[in-house]
Amino acid sequence: MKRNIKDLVKQMTLEEKASLCSGLDFWHTKPVERLGIPSVMVSDGPAGLRKQDDKGDHLGINDSIKAVCFPSGCLTACSFDPDLLEKEGATIGDECLAEDVSVILGPALNIKRSPLCGRNFEYFSEDPYLAGEISAAYVKGVQSKNVGTSIKHFAVNSQEFRRMSCSSNVDERTIREIYFPAFEKTVKEGKPDTVMCSYNRINGVFASENKWLLTDVLRKEWGFDGYVVSDWGAVNKRVEGLAAGLDLEMPASGGTTDRQIVEAVKSGKLKEAVLDKTVERILRIVYKYKDGKTEGNFDKEAHHNLVAEIAKESMVLLKNEKNILPLKEKDASSILFVGAFAKTPRYEGGGSAHINTWKVTSALEAAKKAGLNVNYVQGFDIAEKKDKKLLPEAVEASKKAKTVVIFAGLPDSYESEGYDRKDMKMPLNQDILISEIAKVNKNVVVVLHNGSPVEMPWAKDVKAILESYLAGESVGTAQIDLLFGKANPSGKLAETFPVKTSDNPTFINFPGNGHDVNYAEGMYIGYRYYDIKEMEVLFPFGHGLSYTTFEYSNLKLSSKKILDTDKLEVSVKVTNTGKVFGKEVVQLYVTEKTGTHEDRPVKELKAFAKVALNPKESKVVTMTLDKRSFAFWNVELHDWYAPTGEYEILVGSSSRDIRLTAKVEVTSTAKGVFKINENTVLEELLEHPVAAKCAEPLVKKFVSGMLGEGRSEAEKAAVSDDMMMAMLYSMPLRALRSFLQMKDEEIAKFIEDTNKELSKY
């Protein structure tokens, strides 16, 4: 059924149009009964359906329906598998249909600026390319069921401290290269029905009334055609927000802001055409869902099993000394499980991502179901209450075990929406437990339950570490299958694990003073920072082990020289050299070697592919690079720019396990990129072939005059040739009047003529 939305809007009164710009209550849009316009429901969240029960409170925190808890974004990103995320999205879309939810509020794809952000468990990665690929796939999956998504929180929202008022102060290039790309990719390829603006201010302007953010970038540049919804309570000034591009305010405002909109139109402060466009966008998405609604599928048992499959594809084997894993089923009776999380796992985060889970499978339950008669002691109290019996009991039992598997991690109280972590430490009682057991048993495996990186003072003392993150309701099934080799780990870290909290690049500036937080580290977050600092990390970005081994060979480029408008095909042969089936994530990084003085990271992830291989099987993996793979954001052009020159293609198994390299020459097609002025230094001219030719007479005159014959030995000793050349390179053009006695008019003429030549290239 095709509706004429514009005609429908023409039939509405001013008051009716204004009413549609805010919620009916906490979760529903307003209806206009006179015209048959329906109310629809939106619902959290990023890890499954958190739909408020009709009998619940208005916040929907305590009384939401029983639902399936999927793995959190911190884990699913480690799958490096967009197809898997698309499948997960489609499944959640089915659940939304079954529960008559028109839009699910997710995914959350803010960049992990600091490991201390309390909401990092919801977010995908420290890397914008990976976050964008994963997010776009998830959105495609959900929306394949005609259910909308609301990608959030747009933008530069990487902390919980004073999130509703604090200003994220960040330069244009960093925004474009780090904090925008995941949203841009998802908007352009996933085409979400809605975008949720963040609470915070961006360089002093609230996201909810930021025209540059919501209109100039989101709509005009990226082509977004859905509606923008506020985060719950994010509206500062409603009329200014509407004019900037904020369509729907959530939750209900009690009619206050609706009246403000009506008054603004009547007074001429707000053009009614702006309001009409807003209402059209909202209604288009409302009717897209209502007119296209089909029957949904909420098969909890089947979805529970899917959660296990996703978790198995995503958990990361961080360490496996002497191949202690996988464990042997025949040794089950001599294996000791230690830790409260083995029996009561932490599998989800708090706040809007929290699911009222219908069923949870722990590792102990999964082991029992698999017929594995493992032993168990509690070991520690999750609430960190002192118990003099737990630790000695666990240590004594560990002495008798062949292998000890410790299920540890962060309690719910350590990380949540609403507040940030104080540090990266695990509870002290857990660290002590692991260290003490490692003293009496040399075969210790640690299984972690956490939403973000933790310090591991015991890492060198244990044989293996399996990172489960927050794995959803089937957490135990996935853990047992991986520990005992029924499945082979294939996850890779979507974030770096630094050795300690103070190593992270935001340590000095996070979370700011409450009014402002300065993103002083710029683009150097995550592996970009650790690489340029040549800093030791606990586990690098992209790291993850397998029960088999993979060999990389035969790296090929489709061309050795390309224009920046061309595509470059990169292929590599991957062979499973081990004895069991496994999957490898092939990662492609790009390094700029053009010789320009632009600030560029050592390397950046620009492509990846996950390949499944049987023992001794080989496959050729092909990845495609384009201009954006080589470009940086040029603040003068306000566009992406790939300088002419050499780039290195790095292919490997992690950001610090590069197996093969190749080089490609890229030629820029951009014109007029380089312009000079009176403060341009001569070295900048000499680096550019066109400008260098123009500057050649000036350089010869300077060299002849300053380095010519006739200089005494004393003069040469005082002012060496090297010093003179260094002065030349760093000399701004305005200084030529002093050193070459050029007149201001001559310098201006040289600048004008050179810029004319540069504009041609």
Q: What is the pLDDT of residue 363?
A: 98
Task: Tell me what the mean pLDDT of segment 457-474 comes to.
Answer: 98
β 148-154/194-197 pair status? parallel
Tokens, residue 669: 């097609």
Tokens, residue 582: 């496994």
Task: Tell me what the mean pLDDT of segment 646-662 comes to.
Answer: 98
Given a cut of 50, whether residue 60 has pLDDT beyond it is no
Higher pLDDT, 707 or 119: 119
Which residue's entry shows tokens 């023992």?
615
Which residue's entry shows tokens 């975008």?
195
Nearest by Cα to 605 from 191, 264, 126: 126
If one counts every other C-beta atom within 10 angstroms of the C-beta of residue 673, the result is: 17
Q: What's the pLDDT band for 54 if we cut at 50, 70, 90?
A: low
* Sign of the torsion formed by the C-alpha atoms of 356, 361, 364 and 369: positive
* pLDDT per position as a tens digit, 673-711: 778 899 988 888 887 878 888 888 877 877 666 655 555
Given a cut of 80, whether residue 61 has pLDDT beyond it is no
Q: Where are the beta strands (DSSP E) in 162-303?
A: 167-169, 194-197, 201-202, 205-206, 227-230
* pLDDT per position as a tens digit, 404-418: 999 999 999 999 999
* pLDDT per position as a tens digit, 298-312: 999 999 999 999 999
* Sign of the torsion formed by the C-alpha atoms of 393, 397, 399 and 404: negative
DSSP-assigned beta bridge partners for residue 620: 573
What is the average pLDDT value for the chain, to the nearest integer?
93
Q: What is the pLDDT of residue 56?
A: 47
Rounded-to-integer distance, Cα 421 and Cα 658, Å = 33
Q: What is the pLDDT of residue 309?
A: 98
Kindly list the strands in the beta sheet with 604-613, ordered across the sheet, starting from the edge strand earlier in the chain.
561-563, 657-667, 645-654, 582-592, 604-613
Task: Tell me what the mean pLDDT of segment 125-133 comes to.
Answer: 98
Task: Look up residue 36 and give its amino acid.
Answer: G
Q: What is the pLDDT of residue 485?
A: 98
Global pTM reads 0.94
Rounded-to-integer distance, Cα 430 and Cα 442, Å = 18
Q: What is the pLDDT of residue 713?
A: 65
Question: How many whole angstroms from its chain centre is CA 420?
Answer: 18
Percent of the chain past pLDDT 70, that is, above it, reads: 96
If one counts every other C-beta atom within 10 angstroms of the C-beta of residue 279, the result is: 26
Question: Which residue blocks in 617-743 are alpha helix, DSSP H?
Answer: 627-630, 682-687, 689-707, 713-718, 721-729, 736-739
Higher pLDDT, 637 or 459: 459
Task: Tell me what the mean pLDDT of segment 597-604 comes to.
Answer: 92
| Contact assessment for residue 87 and residue 70, using Cβ atoms and an 8 Å cutoff | no
Nearest by Cα to 655 from 506, 535, 500: 535
| Contact assessment for residue 445 and residue 326, using Cβ atoms and an 8 Å cutoff | no
| Contact assessment for residue 147 and residue 190, using Cβ atoms and an 8 Å cutoff | no
Given a cut of 50, whether residue 615 has pLDDT beyond it is yes
Rounded-to-integer distance, Cα 108 and Cα 121, Å = 10
* Sign of the torsion formed by the C-alpha atoms of 338, 342, 348 and 351: negative
Q: What is the pLDDT of residue 698?
A: 79
* Interaxial angle between packed helices 82-98 and 128-143, expressed in degrees from 0 to 180 and rounded to the nearest 10: 40
Q: What's the pLDDT band for 714 if we cut at 50, 70, 90?
A: low
Task: Tell me what the mean pLDDT of segment 171-192 comes to.
Answer: 98
Q: What's the pLDDT band for 718 if we cut at 50, 70, 90?
A: low
Q: What's the pLDDT band for 666 if we cut at 50, 70, 90?
A: very high
Torsion of CA 480, 482, 487, 490, to 10 degrees: 150
Query: What Cα–Cα distance (Å) separates residue 619 from each residue in 311, 552, 571, 611?
Result: 25, 10, 10, 8
Question: Which residue blocks in 40-121 are alpha helix, DSSP H?
Answer: 73-76, 82-98
Rounded-to-integer distance, Cα 226 and Cα 189, Å = 14
Given a cut of 80, whether residue 59 has pLDDT beyond it is no
Burial of 560 (0-12, 13-18, 19+ CB in 10 A): exposed
* Interaxial angle between packed helices 272-292 and 256-267, expressed in degrees from 0 to 180 and rounded to the nearest 10: 130
- Write b or e for each residue in 190-210: b if 16 or more Cβ atoms lie within 10 A of its Cβ, otherwise e: bbbbbbbbbbbbbbebbbbbb
Which residue's entry shows tokens 């083995």?
342
Task: Look up residue 28 and give its amino acid.
Answer: H
| Contact assessment for residue 590 and residue 650, using Cβ atoms and an 8 Å cutoff | yes
Q: What is the pLDDT of residue 550?
A: 98
541 CB-side CA count, 13 A: 28
3-state SS of 468-517 is: CCCCCCCHHHHHHHHHCCCCCCCCCCCCCECCCHHHCCCCCCCCCCCCEE
Q: What is the pLDDT of residue 725?
A: 72
231 carries an active-site annotation: yes
Residue 202 DSSP SS3: strand
* pLDDT per position as a tens digit, 513-557: 999 999 999 999 999 999 999 999 999 999 999 999 999 999 999
Rounded-to-integer distance, Cα 77 and Cα 72, Å = 9
Q: Rg of the Cα trace of the chain?
A: 29
β 167-169/516-518 pair status? parallel
Q: What is the pLDDT of residue 53?
A: 66
Residues 6+ apart with CB under 8 A from 93: 104, 141, 142, 143, 144, 145, 146, 147, 296
Torsion of CA 706, 711, 714, 717, to 10 degrees: 50
If one counts every other C-beta atom within 10 angstroms of the C-beta of residue 388, the result is: 7
3-state helix, strand, coil in the chain (%, to 5): 35, 20, 40
Given a cut of 80, whether residue 567 has pLDDT beyond it is yes
Burial of 50 (0-12, 13-18, 19+ CB in 10 A): buried
| Contact assessment for residue 88 and residue 141, using Cβ atoms and an 8 Å cutoff | yes
3-state SS of 304-332 is: HHHHHHHHHHHCEEEEEHHHCCCCCHHHH
Q: Which member of 193, 231, 258, 420 is catalytic?
A: 231
